[in-house]
Chains A and B, each alone.
Chain A
Amino acid sequence: MRFRGGVCSPLEHQLGRRVFLGSAAGAVGGVAAGVAGLDFLASPALSTELHRGQKRVLMLFLSGGASQFETWDPKPGRPTGGPFQTIETSIPGYRMCELMPRMATRMHKTAVIRSFTSPNADHGGARVDAILSGDRQDVGPLRTPSIGCMLARELSRPGSKVPDHVGLYTTYVGFNNNVQVDFAAFLGAAHEPINILNKLAPDDLAPPTFLSDRDHRDRETLRESLAAGFYHGRGRDKTAASHRTAYQRVRNLMDSHHLFDISKEPSSLRERYGNSLFAQQAIVARRLIEAGVPFVRLNRGWWDSHGENFEIHASLVPDLDQVMSALLEDLEQRGLLQDTLVVTFAEMGRTPTINGMRGRDHWGKCWSVTLTGSGIRGGVVHGSTNVDGTDVATDPVTAAQFFATIFRAVGIDHQKEYIAPDGRPVLLTPYDTQPVAAVLA
């Protein structure tokens, strides 16, 4: 990807450090990731804590960095404001961009944080890893897990036959080289996502045509008996255990193939979501959530509007509006929204300054995120930016606070301790991080 104006360099888009995850992504949509990693915390004793009453999280990740001005925090009439007007919402006094009329009618059920702030202004690299794991300042060089992997682990159910963590990507930008892909770090690869790129289902879910399902299961039984012997012969080695778990995940995924098939969804529902790939992947995401997948990340890209910001947002925001509103309505009508937290997040926002290509560049200083559903008080607009959107005016919210809020909303103690491989305790969020109480129910 090419950038001008000294904003991005190609190096920022060529990050491939998560080799172990990346090498696995090609196999069954990444399901074999568990083979290579270590699973420090997968012991049965600890896993009894994992059951969380079916709470789930669905993250809409606006990859590339959607503009807060053209969505949740417009500044009409200001030099930074752009051409779009604002519309009333169901929250008295709160106006949002005219590109989101559907969401505007249901904002009383959503909490907006307009004062999110992060040091990150990149698409990939260490600072994106940092924001995905909560911009923590308390762990030195230790790599801590991303929010998705922590949630997948904490919300997973013992014995579940569905995947714990699925990522759906509309574009390969943000996916290639793993620049924005969730990573489990010391939690172990079992918590890493099954990633699906540019389509609705992982590749090769069905057994080869020459192999019946019965034959496949027989082979799996044979493999498992051999693997069990290998495992016990290696003194219950964690890597061997992870290896066995990965195969079980493949089998479970094959048994879940129907979850990725939206063809039987009513046409009226599909029309409500729309026809974009994002819309179709959102239906898959809802099906996964409904089936009990604890964490689904729906990665909608590519918002990187260094040129023609307003044209790009005129195309993408109406789609976000339609898909997000349909998804929330669908979850609500199915009785799922009370136990499902729907989050909008990204790696960054976009600059107040409109550049010479009528674009907006990268911006971490102040942008917007939203929370809807489980544990959230709807109709709250928390924090604010100044009149031109160049800085937080009130109630700044860091990634650590945001993640603490997410954990709290789905019943997870955000100060829970993990034990890192070197033996030191690592909390889910840094010591003394406070969730944003104003948005919690």
Chain B
Amino acid sequence: MNLPNLEHVRVAKTVNRPGDFLSVAHEPDGDRVWLGHTDFRIYTIDFAVEKPEAQEVFAEHTSYVSSLVLHGDSLISASWDRTLRWWNIRDRKPLRSVAAHQRWIRQLDLHASSNRLASVADDMTCKLWEADSGKPVRTLSGFEARIPRWDYPNKLFACAFSPDGRHLAAADELCRVVVWEADSGREAARFDATGFFKEDWDRNNHPYGGIRCLRFSPDGRTLAIAGMENSDVAIINGKGLVQAFDWQAGKKTYEQKIGSNVQLECLAYHPQAAWLVTAVGGAGNGGNISFLDPAEPKVLKDAPATMQTFGFAWGENAESFYTAGRGKALKWHFAPA
């Protein structure tokens, strides 16, 4: 396949909706996406039509829909209401609801071929589920429940499977990264990233920061993490920060700072590893979609995101992608205007 031309990246279609889309999942073999919203609902958008619209489909969560994955005909959603819900996207009916965590669920990841779903929540556990049935497989731990010194609750923001499904990683507010063997639950690695977290006891007297997203490289050897370089708290005013680690050695191999006053909340490798894509969640103006050279710290291309971006999903064959965020959902492609 030919790699998409970054010079031509642009927004192809926009769908507006008040509030924030927090998450997006692409339905294979088409141009349809599913999105979780801060109004507690799940929407679908068919970008194939001339004038796409957000159609409300599911409305049973009782808090923000923080993460979505598609597994066959099932859509699996996670929420701050502590539940995971399975939905049939064909007949558009609920399949099951699982009281999954004690605290707010932040993120999901799916390894479809091994039928494994991972969820992370602020109860500081990473849970493995059978993606088909919703049966619990294993609870993984290894994070501090509290932030040292003044004892604030810790937060577990992100998780990701390795491409082969053998490993699962998660990262917390203290910027600790733990990698487990998915089959056995044995801890395979742990390391602490630096630069994302600030204690700031004297000025604001509360912690702030954390790793907001992480992704394995296509070869599984590198773990990239992203968030914000912390220079202050309460108000987002650091640079976006991406680091990559040889996770088995716990050695940082890459660091890239992006923009200012931004917090990166989306991160994705292109399947052929041509680039690493980041998107800005917290920012005053929405920031950019940034395409990074994963081989060396270099921004290959910045494209104005036009919104704060909270969700990212590749389209068919990674020849397009979708972003979800503040008041909008966008389809992007790499074709000349």
Contact = CB atoms under 8 A, between A and B. Distances in A.
Interface of A: 1-5, 64, 76-77, 79, 83-85, 170-173, 198, 274-278, 300-302, 304-308, 311-312, 314-316, 318-319, 354, 356-359
Contact of A77 (B20, B40, B282): B40
Interface in B277-303: 282-286
Contacts of A300: 205
B203 A172 contact: yes
Nearest to B236: A307
A173 B308 contact: no
Ranked nearest first, the 5 interchain pairs of A and B with the lowest CB-CB distance are A275-B151, A307-B236, A83-B80, A83-B64, A302-B204
A312 B234 contact: yes
A305 B234 contact: yes
The interface residues of chain B, by DSSP majority, are classed as: loop
Contacts of B80: 83-85
A356 B286 contact: yes
Nearest to B19: A79
B235 A304 contact: yes
A318 B155 CA distance: 13
Looking at chain A's contact residues, is the secondary structure mostly helix, strand, loop, or mixed? loop
B236 A357 contact: yes
A13 B30 CA distance: 53
Interface in B229-265: 232-237, 261, 263
Interface string B188-214: 000000000000011111111000000
11 contacts: A5-B284, A64-B234, A77-B62, A83-B64, A85-B81, A307-B282, A314-B155, A318-B153, A356-B285, A357-B236, A359-B235
Nearest to A313: B206
Contacts of B18: 79
Given A276-B152, A302-B234, A308-B282, 17 more contacts: A2-B235, A4-B235, A4-B261, A64-B234, A76-B63, A79-B39, A85-B80, A172-B203, A173-B204, A276-B205, A301-B205, A302-B206, A308-B263, A314-B104, A315-B208, A319-B152, A358-B20
B122 interface: yes
Contacts of B147: 315
Contact of B308 (A275, A312, A356): A356
Nearest to B148: A275
B150 A276 contact: yes
A198 B286 CA distance: 36
Interface of B: 18-20, 38-40, 62-64, 80-81, 104, 122, 147, 150-153, 155, 201-208, 232-237, 261, 263, 282-286, 308, 326
Contact of A315 (B38, B104, B207, B285): B207
Contacts of A356: 282-286, 308, 326
A275 B146 CA distance: 11
Contacts of B235: 1-4, 304, 306-307, 357, 359
Given A171-B205, A172-B202, A276-B152, A304 B234 contact: yes
B282 A316 contact: no
Given A4-B284, A357-B283, A83 B38 contact: yes
B84 to A, nearest CB: 16
A339 to B, nearest CB: 30
A398 B153 CA distance: 35
A314 B284 contact: no
A2 B208 contact: no
A272 to B, nearest CB: 13
A67 to B, nearest CB: 12
**Of A171, A318, A357, which is in contact with the most chain B CB atoms at under 10 Å from its CB?**
A357
A316 B203 CA distance: 14
A224 B261 CA distance: 58
A308 B204 contact: no
A357 B206 contact: no
Contacts of A172: 202-203
Nearest to B204: A302
Of B80, B122, B207, which is in contact with the most chain A CB atoms at under 10 Å from its CB?
B80
B232 A2 contact: yes
B208 A198 contact: no
A301 B200 CA distance: 12
A85 B63 contact: yes
A301 B284 contact: no
A314 B64 CA distance: 15
A171 B62 contact: no
A170 B152 CA distance: 14
A277 B203 CA distance: 13
Nearest to A276: B150
Contacts of A318: 152-153
A322 B240 CA distance: 34
B234 A307 contact: yes
B237 A2 contact: yes
A358 B206 contact: no
A151 B216 CA distance: 60
Contacts of B39: 77, 79
Contacts of A301: 204-205
Contact of B150 (A275, A314, A354, A359): A275
A201 B150 CA distance: 18
A360 to B, nearest CB: 11
Given A305-B234, A306-B235, A173 B284 contact: no
Nearest to A306: B235
A221 B20 CA distance: 69
Contacts of A307: 234-237, 263, 282
B202 A314 contact: no
A217 to B, nearest CB: 36
Q: A3, A308, A318, A354: which has the most chain B beta carbons within 10 Å?
A: A308
A171 B208 contact: no
A316 B308 CA distance: 25
Nearest to A280: B150
A314 B153 contact: yes
A388 to B, nearest CB: 13
Contacts of A315: 147, 152-153, 206-208
Contacts of A173: 203-204
A83 B104 contact: yes
Nearest to A173: B203
Contacts of A5: 284
Contact of B282 (A275, A304, A312, A358): A358
Question: Which of A5, A76, A358 neighbours the largest number of chain B CB atoms within 10 Å of its CB?
Answer: A358
Contacts of B234: 64, 302, 304-308, 312
A275 B152 CA distance: 9
Nearest to A197: B202
A335 B40 CA distance: 46
A3 B286 CA distance: 16
Nearest to A79: B19
Contacts of B40: 77
A31 B237 CA distance: 37
Contacts of B207: 315
Nearest to B325: A356
